[in-house]
């Protein structure tokens, strides 16, 4: 029996497979395809204090080995999440990570406070590229990253994960700032800001003009950043960006991730997370690895 259990800031995940926020809604639809107990944790769709209607469509476009999206944090708001989505997810033996995406520091503090310990972990989204206020504006400045992390942490009853943006010159600097602010874990990467233009209509393919790039196209960037961040902090890292297979999971863990999140793959196949988990177990098995910790940060750098 291979030991798959990992620890994120004191929260034990039965395996390192998490869903990436915004690619899984709140689990209801996917629960018709497999038992959510299969997952290490469910990271829910971004929550804002009030309901948000999101951006104008089209919100998605396919690019080489990736997708661009600009949803704009559409969600039903915190009260709805607490009333309907938490009780639904609590029926499953898996951990809940609440991704919070307030427009202001105060809004994020308020959401964290009201969530209390009804969820297992909070992921602070300082990296959404598709909204005018908050989002990536917080996560590209180390001073603001430290400040928002510190303030939200004061309002958190559960460990705080800070989700980092790749849209920066030096992600290590932002990771360090989040750590100094009191983050208990880091997750990376959010999407890479991108753009696609239809050469016949001369229009961008997204109504928001730009969007966030995800999928296999971003994986090497994400792996590099996971490796860079793991070299400057001992905080647990949740790695993500284009994971489509069990080997991709291993790659992120070798780079330094303690757990991983699967995102775009869920859009391609509803059973992606469990398929990837099976492949990952096969990888461990074939390599005679009986504890997943053996591969965390085990990359042999030249």
Catalytic positions = 128
Per rule CB under 8 A, is residue 50 in the interface with another protein? no
Q: Smallest Cα–Cα separation from 241: which of 227, 254, 260?
A: 260
Q: CB-based burial of residue 141 (10 Å sphere; 0-12 exposed, 13-18 middle, 19+ buried)?
A: middle
User: Whole-number minimum distance, CB 126 to another protein, in Å?
Assistant: 21
Among 2, 14, 74, 283, the residue binding another protein under the rule CB under 8 A is: 74
Per rule CB under 8 A, is residue 245 in the interface with another protein? no
Nearer to another protein, 9 or 86 (CB): 86
User: Whole-number minimum distance, CB 264 to another protein, in Å?
Assistant: 8
How many Å apart are CA 284 and CA 170, to the nearest integer?
A: 33
User: Whole-number minimum distance, CB 23 to another protein, in Å?
Assistant: 6
Nearer to another protein, 24 or 252 (CB): 24
Per rule CB under 8 A, is residue 29 in the interface with another protein? yes
Per rule CB under 8 A, is residue 24 in the interface with another protein? yes
Site string for another protein, 178-217 (x = CB under 8 A): -------------------------------------xx-
Q: Which residues contact 9 (CB under 8 A, 6 or more apart)?
A: 121, 159, 160, 161, 184, 185, 235, 236
Question: How does strand 203-204 pair with strand 197-198?
Answer: antiparallel
DSSP state of 215: S
Nearer to another protein, 129 or 215 (CB): 215
What angle (nearest 5°) sits at the alpha carbon of residue 74, between those of residues 72 and 79?
A: 140
Where residue 25 falls (left for φ over 0; alpha for ψ -120 to 50; beta otherwise) is left
Question: Is the preceding omega at residue 58 within 30 degrees of 0, hence cis?
Answer: yes
Among 9, 14, 38, 58, the residue binding another protein under the rule CB under 8 A is: 58
Nearer to another protein, 3 or 269 (CB): 269
* Tokens 């990736």 -> residue: 66
Return the range that interacts with another protein (CB under 8 A); candidates 82-90, 155-163, 249-257, 260-268: 260-268
Residues lying near another protein in the complex (CB under 8 A) = 22-25, 29-30, 32-34, 45, 53-54, 56-62, 65-67, 69, 71, 74, 215-216, 264, 266-271
């Amino acid at each position: 029996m291979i030991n798959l259990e990992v620890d994120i800031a004191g929260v034990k995940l039965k395996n390192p497979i998490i869903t990436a926020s915004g690619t899984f809604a709140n689990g209801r639809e996917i629960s018709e395809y497999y038992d959510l107990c299969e997952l290490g944790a469910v990271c829910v769709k971004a929550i804002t204090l009030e309901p948000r209607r999101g951006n104008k469509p089209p919100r998605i476009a396919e690019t080489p080995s990736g997708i661009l999206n600009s949803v704009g944090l559409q969600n039903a708001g915190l009260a709805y999440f607490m009333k309907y989505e938490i009780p639904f997810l609590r029926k499953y033996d898996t951990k809940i990570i609440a991704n919070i995406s307030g427009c202001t520091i105060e809004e994020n503090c308020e959401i964290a406070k009201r969530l209390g310990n009804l969820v297992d972990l909070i992921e602070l989204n300082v990296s959404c590229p598709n909204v005018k206020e908050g989002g990536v504006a917080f996560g590209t400045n180390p001073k603001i990253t430290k400040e928002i992390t510190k303030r939200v942490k004061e309002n958190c009853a559960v460990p705080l994960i800070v989700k980092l943006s790749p849209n920066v010159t030096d992600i290590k600097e932002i990771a360090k700032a989040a750590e100094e602010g009191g983050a208990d874990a880091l997750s990376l990467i959010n999407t890479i800001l991108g753009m696609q233009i239809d050469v016949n209509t001369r229009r961008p393919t997204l109504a928001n003009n730009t969007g966030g790039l995800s999928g296999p196209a971003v994986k090497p960037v994400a792996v590099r950043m996971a490796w860079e961040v793991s070299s400057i902090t001992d905080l647990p890292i949740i790695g993500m960006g284009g994971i489509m297979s069990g080997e991709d999971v291993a790659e992120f863990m070798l780079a330094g991730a303690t757990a991983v999140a699967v995102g775009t793959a869920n859009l391609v196949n509803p059973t992606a997370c469990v398929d990837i988990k099976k492949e990952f177990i096969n990888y461990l098995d074939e390599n005679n690895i009986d504890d997943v910790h053996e591969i965390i940060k085990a990359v042999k750098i030249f």
